[in-house]
């Protein structure tokens, strides 16, 4: 079962795309917390926003050696 989807709604002959996430048994708009959010005008932009939301952060650990790094 997918946890994410994009909902397409056509209003006044204009398609709007809404990335959604499933919480328990209901679907919720992901970016609706923003008061200026109206959806996306293209499927590509909705997909990009959803991918960047889902993408995991990259964490890198860098060793620090006082003798080497503080000359």
Given a contact cutoff of 8 angstroms between Cβ atoms, the answer to whether 3 and 22 are in contact is yes
Structure confidence by residue, pLDDT tens digits, 38-68: 788 889 988 888 888 888 766 666 777 777 7
The residue segments making up the domain with residue 33 are 4-69
The reported pLDDT for the residue numbered 59 is 67
What is d(CA 7, CA 2) in angstroms, rounded to the nearest whole number? 13
Given a contact cutoff of 8 angstroms between Cβ atoms, the answer to whether 14 and 20 are in contact is no
The pLDDT of residue 1 is above 60? no
pTM for the predicted model, two decimal places: 0.64
Domain count, the chain: 1
């Amino acid at each position: 079962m997918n946890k994410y989807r994009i909902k397409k709604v056509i209003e006044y002959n204009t398609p709007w795309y809404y990335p959604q996430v499933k919480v328990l048994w209901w679907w919720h708009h992901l970016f609706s917390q923003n008061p200026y959010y109206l959806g996306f005008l293209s499927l590509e932009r909705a997909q990009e926003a959803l991918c960047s939301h889902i993408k995991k952060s990259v964490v890198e650990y860098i060793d620090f050696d006082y003798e080497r790094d503080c000359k």
